[in-house]
Amino acid sequence: MDALSRRRFLKISTATLGLATAGGAAGPLARRLAARAAGSAAPQGIRRIPTYCSICFWKCGAVATVKDGRLWKIEGNPDDPLSRGRLCPRGTGGVGAHFDTDRLTAPLIRRTTRGQDEWTAVTWDEAFAYIAERMQTIKAKYGPESVALFSHGIGGTFLKHTLQAFGTPNLTAPSGAQCRGPRDTGFNLTFGEDAGSPERTDIRNATCLVLIGSHLGENMHNTQVQEFADAVAAGASIIVVDPRFSIAAGKAKYYLPIKPGTDIALLLAWMHVLVTEELYDTAYVEKHGFGFDAFKAEIAPYTPEWAYPETGIEPEVIRATAREMARNKPSTLVHPGRHSAWYGDDAQRSRAVALLNALLGSWGRRGGLYAPVALDIPAYPYPPYPKPARGVADDPDDKYPFKLESISTGIREATISGRPYPIKSWFVYGTNLMESLPNQAETIEAIQHLDLMVVVDVVPSEITGWADVVLPESVYLERHDELNLNWFREPYVGIRQPVVEAPADQKPNWWIARELALKLGLGAYYPWKTIEEYLAYRVTKAGLSFDELTQKGILRGAPQPIYFDQGVPEEFPTPSGKIEFYSLQLRDKGHDPVPKYTRPEDPPPGAFRLLFGRAPVHTFSRTQTNPILDDMMHENEVWVNAGVAARYGLASGTYVRLKNQDGVVSNRVKVKATERIRPDCVYMVHGFGHTARRLTRTYLAGASDSRLITRVKVDPLMGGTGMNVNFVTLELEA
Ligand X SMILES: Nc1nc2c(c(=O)[nH]1)N[C@H]1C(S)=C(S)[C@@H](COP(=O)(O)OP(=O)(O)OC[C@H]3O[C@@H](n4cnc5c(=O)[nH]c(N)nc54)[C@H](O)[C@@H]3O)O[C@H]1N2
Separation between Cα atoms, residue 181 and residue 715, nearest integer Å? 10
Applying CB under 6 A, does 284 fall inside the site for ligand SF4? no
* CB 158 within 8 Å of CB 509: yes
Q: Which is nearest to 439 in space by CA: 705, 213, 176?
A: 705
Q: Which contiguous run of DSSP H or E holds residue 577?
A: none
User: Contact between 179 and Mo ion (CB under 5 A)?
Assistant: yes
By beta-carbon proximity to ligand SF4, the closer residue of 107 and 616 is 616
* Nearest approach, Cβ of residue 538 and ligand SF4 (Å): 22
Order across the sheet with 254-256: list the strands. 254-256, 237-241, 208-212, 332-334
How many whole angstroms from its chain centre is CA 734?
37
- Of 622 and 678, nearer to ligand SF4 (C-beta) is 622
12: left (phi over 0), alpha (psi -120 to 50) or beta: alpha
Q: Where are the beta strands (DSSP E) in 419-509?
A: 425-429, 452-457, 469-472, 492-494
Instruction: Give the Cβ contact number of residue 524 at 10 Å.
Output: 10
With both helix axes pointing from N to C terminus, report the angle between 263-276 and 292-299 in degrees, rounded to the nearest 10.
120
Please select the residue that binds ligand SF4; options are 60, 210, 554, 562, rule is CB under 6 A.
60
Binding site for ligand X (CB under 6 A): 54, 56, 90, 152, 155, 174-175, 178-179, 212-215, 219-221, 241-244, 246, 258, 260-261, 263, 337-339, 342, 429-432, 435-436, 456-459, 461, 463, 473, 475-476, 611-614, 616, 618-622, 683, 686, 705-706, 709, 723-724
Return the ∠ at Cα 89 (arms to 83 and 90), rounded to 5°.
90
Instruction: Rule CB under 6 A: say whether 499 interacts with ligand SF4.
Output: no
The partner in contact with residue 212, picked from Mo ion, ligand X, ligand SF4, none with C-beta cut-offs of 5 to 8 angstroms by kind, is: ligand X
**Which partner, Mo ion, ligand X, ligand SF4, none, binds residue 87 by CB below 5 to 8 Å per kind?**
ligand SF4
Nearer to ligand SF4 among residue 56 and residue 607 (C-beta):
56
Report how far apart the first and last C-alpha atoms of the chain are (Å, whole number). 38
Between residues 578 and 614, which has the closer beta carbon with respect to ligand X?
614
Stretch that binds ligand SF4, among 96-104, 159-167, 219-227, 634-642 (CB under 6 A): 219-227
Choice between 162 and 224, CB closer to ligand SF4: 224
> Choosing among ligand X, ligand SF4, Mo ion, none, which partner's interface includes residue 60 (Cβ < 5 to 8 Å by kind)?
ligand SF4
CB nearer ligand SF4, residue 172 or residue 486: 486
Candidate list 17, 33, 53, 535; residue touching ligand SF4; CB under 6 A:
53
Give 1's contacts (C-beta < 8 A, 6+ positions apart): 9, 89
**Residue 53 binds: one of ligand SF4, ligand X, Mo ion, none (C-beta under 5 to 8 A by kind):** ligand SF4
Angle between helices 157-166 and 509-519 (to 10 degrees): 10
Question: Which among ligand SF4, ligand X, Mo ion, none contacts residue 91 (Cβ within 5 to 8 A by kind)?
Answer: ligand SF4
Which range of residues in 75-83, 178-186, 190-198, 345-353 is near Mo ion by CB under 5 A? Answer: 178-186
Q: What part of residues 331-350 is at the interface with Mo ion (CB under 5 A)?
A: 339
Contacts with 649 (C-beta within 8 Å, 6 or more apart), sequence order: none
CA pair distance 484, 61, nearest whole angstrom: 9
Peptide bond into 28 cis (omega under 30): no
CA distance 449 to 38: 48
CA-angle at 24, arms to 22 and 26, nearest 5°: 110
- CB 722 → ligand SF4: shortest distance, Å? 26
Give the interface size with ligand SF4 as a residue count (CB under 6 A). Answer: 14
Nearer to ligand X, 366 or 672 (CB): 672
Using the rule CB under 6 A, which residue among 56, 356, 607, 723 binds ligand SF4? 56
> Minimal CA–CA distance to 607: which of 518, 526, 711?
711
Interface residue with ligand SF4 among 24, 50, 91, 364 (CB under 6 A) is 91
Q: Does 106 bind Mo ion (CB under 5 A)?
A: no
Q: Give the one residue of 30, 55, 549, 607 binding ligand SF4; rule: CB under 6 A.
A: 55
How buried is 370 (Cβ within 10 angstroms: 0-12 exposed, 13-18 middle, 19+ buried)? buried
- Write out the residues near ligand SF4 by the rule CB under 6 A: 53, 55-56, 58-60, 83, 87-88, 90-91, 220-222
| Binding site residues, Mo ion, CB under 5 A | 179, 339
